[in-house]
Amino acid sequence: MDIGEVRLKLLVPDVVAEKKFWVDRLGFAIIKTFPGGMMIDLGGTRLEVFLDTNAAPSGMGISIEVTDLDDVWEQWADSPDVVHPLRASRWGDRSFALRAPNGIEVVLFQPI
């Protein structure tokens, strides 16, 4: 099996809230928009966001490596979206987690 691009598909009740989170707050770029959604570049992986007013909360989570975790934490530390604050893990990184508007957990991490 030949593998091409990998895309994560996200069904959400509010595309505007997702744009504010992924693009405006986290700084990812929109690749394209389409009626009822958009495609976002997560640094090599595509996130397809589709409007679905009946979307159920997802058990999916996303982990994103950043180069300056302290700087990113400073931007989010007072946000109500923080699930867990900055901490070190036993597997060798530091991280904090956010809750996206659609309910998924987004972990931002940096190896130690």
Q: What distance in Å separates the CA atoms of residue 86 and residue 91, rounded to the nearest whole number?
A: 15
User: Within a domain: residue 35?
Assistant: yes
2 inside domain: no
Residue 70 forms part of a structural domain: yes
Q: How confident is the model at residue 112 (pLDDT cuts 50, 70, 90)?
A: very high
Output the six-digit token pair for 68.
Answer: 């300056």
**Tens-place pLDDT, residues 18-47:** 999 999 999 999 999 999 999 999 998 999
* Residue-level pLDDT at 57: 74
Task: Give percent of the chain with pLDDT exceeding 90.
Answer: 81
The reply to whether 31 falls in a domain is: yes
pLDDT of 48 above 90: yes
Contact 18, 102 (CB under 8 A): yes
> What are the tens digits of pLDDT across the range 52-94?
988 877 778 999 999 999 999 999 999 999 999 999 999 899 9
Q: What is the pLDDT, as a whole number, of residue 1?
A: 81
Number of domains observed in the structure of the chain: 1
Could you tell me if 106 and 72 are in contact, meaning their C-beta atoms sit under 8 angstroms apart?
no
Residues of the domain holding 54: 7-111
The pLDDT value given to residue 58: 75
* 54 lies in some domain: yes
pLDDT at 3 over 80: no
The answer as to whether 1 is a domain residue is no
Which CATH number is 101's domain given? 3.10.180.10
